[in-house]
A and B are shown apart, each in its own frame.
Chain A
Amino acid sequence: MSPFDLLLQQIINGLSLGSMYALLALGFTIVYGIMELINFSHFNVFMIGSFVAMGVLSLFGLQGQSILMHGAPLVVALIVALVVTMVACGLLGVLIERVALRPLRGVQGPMAMITTIGVSYVLSNATMLALGANTKNFPNPIPPMTFHIGTAQITAFQIVIWVLSALLMGGLYMFVQRSKLGKAMRATAQDPDAALMMGVEVNRVIMTAFFLGSALAGAAGFIFGLYYNFTNFGIGFTAGLRAFTAAVLGGIGNIPGAMLGGILIGLIEAMAGQYVGAKWADVIIFSLLVLVLIARPAGLLGRLAPTKS
């Protein structure tokens, strides 16, 4: 491969990985923006999403590596699996909020964050006990199709990932910018007290945020499974940590920031694997984060909001 093709190939790799990080980072960011809560259970909602998706696909008879469906039925099966996964994860997020976090609303300090750590332990260990600790083979129903640019190649599914991620992110962005509930969310994020006084139903806003964030995590879990063709109870941790870093890098609470941060971290990881060594990827990511935050203490796109000075 020529150096240019190689770079291009790594950019393609990084974009695919980054799209997943971005979807996960969005969930962090929406919840953080409204509640200023670092939600560690988000990691494992993503993990559960991949299992839900696997379960739904198996209902359609899609298991293992064999390609059993083509054309429209396959597309329908995939869409149904995506929607069911997103709804299930969204409801799981709402349930977590209702049971474990609402009683802690308004309590200052890291108590709510610690609770999410507890929830995270529960989710991953319950999954391990129920479904086993070994790695599962995620169905791979999509026929392989590759396009070449020079010697670099893109699979059809990578393009699907980008498009799907872009659609979901764009949809979220439009929802938050345009819809009435979205406006209520933004108002709550800026000033919860004022929003409450203006008649915003804060409970509903927070539940919406959890639903949307968790649904996106579910979508990320679905995409993860299809892209890597495996899942296990431990996939949440590292991916979640990277996504969290992405959200902060872009400016936590900021939707375009989360997307930018996710893509950037995906690209950095790919470049590190190629040019430095995968073993230093985390060191590079976090060093870069420190440098960015020294220059811009609120992240790339974040602004130090006046209310939070």
Chain B
Amino acid sequence: MDTMDTTTVTPDAKPGHENTNALHTVEAPPARWHWLSGPFERPGVRRATIVLLAVFALAFPFITGDQANIDAAGNATAYACLALGLNIVVGFCGLLDLGYAAFFAIGAYSFGILTSWQITPEWSGFWSPFAALGLVQKVVQNGHALVHFTVSFWIMLPLSGVIAAFFGVLFGAPTLRLRGDYLAIVTLGFGEIVPIVARNWSSLTNGAAGLNGIASPTIFSYRFGINATPYYYVGIGLVAFLIFASTRLRDSRIGRAWMAIRDDEIAASAMGINLTRFKLLAFGIGAGFAGMSGTFYVAKLQTATPDMFGFPVSVMILVMVVLGGLGSVWGVVLGAVLLQLLQSWFLGDLTQWVNAFGTLIHSGYLSSIDLTQASELLFGIILVIMMLYRREGLIPANRRQRALSFEQQHATVQMQKRASDITLSQIGGEGYRHEPGAVPMLEINDVTVRFGGLVALNKVNITVPAGGVVAVIGPNGSGKSTLFNTITGLTRAAEGSILFNGQEIIGLPPHEILRLGIARTFQNIRLFGTLTVAANIMVGQHARLKAGPISAILRSPKNLPEEKAARAWIVEIAQIFGNRLAPRLTQTVVGLSYANRRRVEISRALASKPRLLLLDEPTAGMNTSESLELAEQIKGLHALGLTILIIEHKLDVVTRIADKVIVLDHGDKLTEGLPDEVRRNEAVLEAYLGRGAAAHA
């Protein structure tokens, strides 16, 4: 390991220290639950379960017939929407948000203010077109013509989503640079600020007294009024839509990008994911869900007070998400519904049940005990017990891995013996042609990198010709990984220039550099730990796919073939390594051997269709035959025209594949030349083995 890493901020810091944003547990549920979860892994059973659930949800008001139960279920749907929204932020993207209720409040007040008597400006001609659209009414009070806002619930439902999403992006923006727990406190701050503003800005919100006269929704002139049933159905519809949207997003380019950020920000950015954009997208979409939920909730309640949106609400939504299963769409819905019903039904009625039971069994103690005041205590106990015994959530996001069959595990390795076995289609189909005498692919001129007082790279000059394979060698701490980090934008050079096909790339963010065509692997392997092999490789294609959030949800005619082709292509990429990865595509990467993880990382880099591939010690941890196998595969990639810059310690590998070898030592370029020349260079021997050894050599 580079000694430098202990003193400097490098992305290749200590192995074993996971990305602190990784909020995700990678545990699969223990086997003792498999009898329960097992059947649901079959698509038919899953589909049947969903249909049954839907039928039950639709029939529920008729089954119970009790308005109080329907109302409680209606509140539960609102919290299910909130949990789905927070799941996008925390579960998918890994951003710990402790102030999520702020967006709930914003959605609630947006609707409340625009459909009540809270603000009534003077009437003027300006309002006439709005009146024609039915958004406002002219009312005359005490001889004054005033504007009464009457925006329809059905307009406000999506509109509040948009308004809340705007605030989501606004509040998210300052938090982008922050690590997990700092992010948590800043979001907590926003969560505190919003209700305070609602409380103190009483001309807009009626302050602590709460909004009056919020209009109830109507549909085809049927007024919902205080009947809980129509609200319940709107809530069910909203939950169904948000489940649908969450699932579609999760399984798309967007969802993969979020989960990649969650698992490893640095690798995600190096694989072409624009961290800023995708984090803000998660904040925005998550907030949008909350905004819609807030509108629904307030329409149902017909009042809103600042007390409804405090910190305990944010915490409770988070608890729902974690209890249900972080990142699991159905899990968080279940978590929200259970916790909400536990509070409003079970704990509320528990006293009555226990008393009735006590009367039945003639127990004076049980028939008079009052548990109502203990409801929050019981809630706390249930929460602790759930976390201790079912911490991966009620429905874990990662289903149990089906083990490889005996045959698959013990299959003879069919490696592709010859480099020429690798086909063009496996690296993107187009291939690369290089005109002799063209500009070099990569020109590094006088690049200096400093960490505090330490000079990690000192005026280094390297040229990588198009179509060439250049190897960088050097002892530990010589600046090799720093060189890669500088090229890929993870570390900023103090001086010098790096030209990629003649274009300056110093100062570009990592995802832009990948987009230009430079992909890399990491010395200490940075895969997305909770994702499958296939999903890891799919993330590599991120920059080459186009699906946005809306087309991902709609599966537009453009998006669907793109996604299908992408999925087909990763199977081809995996076959570069014969049958080593192919049977393991659906496994999460944590279960893979070290060598296979390296192969996944190379596949992931290849999936971005790079023109220049940077490999950081790709054979580390492999035995000799595996190393030579990989060398052969690299040669194959080179033969197809891919330009490669490789850091490698194993000199036999280097000699096999490199056109040119560059030697770094203590940040200085010691020498460069053909592999055999470098091997005999005295300065190199000295650097590697020390002065005395060189003298004896």
Report whether chain A binds chain B: yes
Q: B381 near A293 (CB under 8 angstroms)?
A: no
Given known pairs A117-B315, A286-B192, A304-B9, the reply for A110 and B90 (CB within 8 Å) is: yes
Task: State in angstroms the CA–CA spacing of A185 and B196 once bound together.
Answer: 39
Residues of A contacting B6 in the complex (Cβ-Cβ under 8 angstroms): 306
- Which B residues are CB-close (under 8 A) to A119? 380, 384
Asked if A122 and B380 sit within 8 Å, CB to CB, the answer is yes
CB atoms of A109 and B24 under 8 A apart: yes
Cβ-closest chain B residue relative to A112: B387
Residues on A with C-beta less than 8 A from B10 are: 306, 309
Interchain CA distance A287-B171 in the complex, whole Å: 11
Inter-chain CA distance A306–B6, complex, in Å, is 7
* Cα separation A290 to B186 with both chains bound (whole Å): 6
Q: From residue A103, how far is it (CB to closest CB) to chain B in Å?
A: 5
Whether the pair B387, A115 counts as a contact (CB closer than 8 A) is yes
B686 within 8 A of A: no
Contact among B13, B17, B25, B26 for A111, CB-based, below 8 A: B25
How far is A308 from B190 in the complex, measured between Cα atoms in Å? 25
Bound Cα distance A36, B6 (Å)? 20
**Cα–Cα, bound, A290→B171 (Å):** 10
B132 at the interface (CB under 8 A from A): no
B16 at the interface (CB under 8 A from A): yes
A126 to B373 CA separation, bound complex (whole angstroms): 10
Cβ–Cβ < 8 Å partners of B177 in chain A: 294, 297
Question: From B316, which residue of chain A is reached at the shortest CB distance?
Answer: A117
The reply to whether B9 and A297 contact each other, CB–CB distance below 8 Å, is no
Q: Find chain A residues with CB under 8 A from B25 CB.
A: 107-109, 111
Minimum CB–CB distance from A214 to chain B (whole Å) comes to 17
**Contact for A280 among B27, B175, B196, B311, CB less than 8 A:** B196
With A108-B25, A282-B192, A306-B6 as contacts: A245 and B185 at CB distance below 8 Å: yes
Knowing A104-B388, A109-B326, A290-B189, the reply to whether A241 touches B17 (Cβ < 8 A) is no
Q: Is the interface of A mostly helix, strand, loop or mixed?
A: helix
The B-contacting residues of A in range 260-309, CB under 8 angstroms, are 279-280, 282-283, 285-287, 289-290, 293-294, 297-299, 304, 306-309
Q: When the two chains form their complex, are residues B383 and A118 in contact, meaning their CB atoms are under 8 A apart? A: yes
Q: Is the CB of A282 within 8 A of B196?
A: yes
The 8 A CB mask of A33-70 against B (1 = contact, 0 = none) is: 00010100000000000000000000000000000000
Is A120 touching B380 in the complex (CB atoms < 8 A)? Answer: yes
Q: Is A142 an interface residue (CB 8 A)?
A: no
CB distance from A209 to the nearest CB of B (A): 16
Q: Mark B12-52, 1 if CB is under 8 A from A, else 0.
A: 01101110101111110000000000000000000000000
Asked if B379 CB lies within 8 Å of chain A CBs, one says: yes
Judge whether A149 is part of the interface by a CB distance below 8 angstroms: no
B186 touches A117 (CB 8 A): no
A122 CB contact (under 8 Å) in B90, B323, B373, B381: B381
- Judge if B11 is at the interface, Cβ distance under 8 Å: yes
Closest to B265 in A: A309
Nearest CB in chain A to that of B386: its residue: A118
> Residue of A at shortest CB range from B98?
A38
Q: Which of A114, A252, A309 contacts B322 (CB 8 A)?
A: A114
Q: How far apart are the CA atoms of A286 and B319 in the complex, in Å? A: 23
Chain B contacts for A290, CB-based, 8 A: 174, 186, 189
* Chain A: minimal CB distance from B20 (Å): 5
Cβ contact within 8 Å between B391 and A104: yes
Tell whether, in the assembled complex, residue B182 and residue A252 are in contact, meaning their CB atoms are under 8 Å apart: yes
What 1/0 flags go to B161-199 for Cβ under 8 Å of A?
Answer: 000000000000011011101101110111011001101
Q: A111-B322, A279-B200 are in contact. List 15 more A-B contacts (CB 8 A).
A: A100-B384, A100-B387, A118-B383, A121-B383, A125-B376, A129-B373, A191-B14, A191-B17, A241-B311, A283-B197, A289-B189, A294-B174, A304-B9, A306-B5, A309-B10
Q: Would you give 13 A-B contacts (Cβ < 8 Å), ordered by A?
A: A38-B181, A110-B96, A110-B326, A118-B381, A118-B382, A125-B380, A191-B14, A252-B182, A279-B200, A282-B192, A283-B196, A304-B179, A306-B10
Point out residues on A near B: beta carbons under 8 Å: 32, 36, 38, 100, 103-104, 107-112, 114-115, 117-122, 124-126, 128-129, 191, 193, 241, 244-245, 248, 252, 279-280, 282-283, 285-287, 289-290, 293-294, 297-299, 304, 306-309
Residues of chain B having any CB pair with chain A under 8 Å:
5-11, 13-14, 16-18, 20, 22-27, 90, 96, 174-175, 177-179, 181-182, 184-186, 188-190, 192-193, 196-197, 199-200, 311, 315, 318-319, 322-323, 326, 373-374, 376-377, 379-384, 387-388, 391
